[in-house]
Structure 1
Amino acid sequence: MSGERMLAAEFPVEVQARHVLSVIGSGERTFSAIASRCGADDKPLPAGSLSHALRTLTHKRLVAVDTPLSTKPGDRDRRYRVADPYLRLWLAFFERGIAEVERGRGSRVAAAVERGWASWRGRAVEPLVREALGRLLPDDAWPHAHEIGGWWPRTNNPEIDLVAADRSPAREIVFAGSIKWHERAPFGGRDLAALARDALAIPGADGDTQLVAVSRSGFDVTDCAATFGAEELVDAWAP
């Protein structure tokens, strides 16, 4: 019940913002998709109402706003996510499961978590990886890596998990990277080839842009500019 109590304290009267937060927590990330899910009678939520709710959520720091990082401004392609990892987990799995738990059917909620865990974790770890690299960089190897983000076009295809740049919007793309957070499968040659191909779509990147790999389960490649495993990322928070 921790998540429900947190939200009750934050939203004693702001029902619409609370609903918008639930929709974002369920996985919707774009303004239009959120508006569609929050609407009624097959009509999307009006843009003004949704903008007000999003301002409330970002002001309370419950929702974070990401923009694609490249040499082109990306404000039109904003993506929204629940900022707190615990609340993100609660909204994705437990909010809808409270009634099942109260009926003694907690095993059904546990099964839903088991089914959706790998997909949810793969998306949830991305901002944590970016934050870790933002703490580790810039360094001697990449003195200009002052901004760490990701990149995506309006179609969301391809999506680049990691982009390092000198600023936002960028004058220089320092590297592009891919995150593979699997239980056992290491980062392999196919993953690197896909990254090399997709990175060319980033405005400001080219065939000489360095490539970086992040993996939970090791690496089967040796020709990346750098690799980061779980231990290196955790070290970003060391004193």
Structure 2
Amino acid sequence: MLTVDFDRLGVGAGSSLIDVGCGAGRHSFEAFRRGADVVAFDQDVAELNNVDAILQAMQEQGEAPASAKAEAVKGDALDLPYDDGTFDFVIASEILEHVPQDEAAIDELVRVLKPGGRLAVTVPRWLPEKVCWALSDEYHANEGGHIRIYRADELEGKVTARGMRFDHRHHAHALHSPFWWLKCAVGVDKPDNPLVTTYHKMLVWDMMSRPWVTRNAESLLNPLIGKSVALYFEKPANSPSSAA
């Protein structure tokens, strides 16, 4: 389930991409399929081991072009171990809401991006997230949980303040918002609740089968209750490699 629109981002063969806070690797896998040289970057060793195993399997089974390279790297998003202007593309999907020093993290995202390169940042959308917080403290008040709710304009301003040019915004995963509202209402520690399990089965069916009825419904609902907001930026070609 991708949050970033790779066609809009423009990832292709021969490009370099870092997926900061890659988690289970969904965006890293898509970039690798498209022929990019990928760094799947995270601080969670267990997740990275799984991501690395899948990347290797993809290469062995020919699911990525032979020319593409991929590696899983452990590290801190506040101190990326790469030179200024290393990557053509940077993705940070659903991580900034977890990071106390979010502006320092944004500095790093911008710093490692090449002039002329593109950045995609996604975070939980303000309204669906507010509903979750209102319904459940457990949803966010835990170790490593969400520590802030962004308004899209606020996040856009934080990125453009570092010399980036805003390009586009869209919303995604509207069908997931009611699922999380249900989980928060019944208790996030109660995954076996019948309402939650029934809705989850529908989401799995949607992701696996992609029927027109749910795809059209989500497309119509995304502007209203999309669970995530995705923002796209470009680093001006005449920009210095390091963040301001």
Q: Pick the TM interval, shorter chain.
A: under 0.3
Looking at secondary structure, tell me which structure has more strand per residue: 2
What TM-score results when the alignment is normalised by the length of structure 2? 0.26
Looking at secondary structure, tell me which structure has more helix per residue: 1
What TM-score results when the alignment is normalised by the length of structure 1? 0.26
Larger radius of gyration: 1
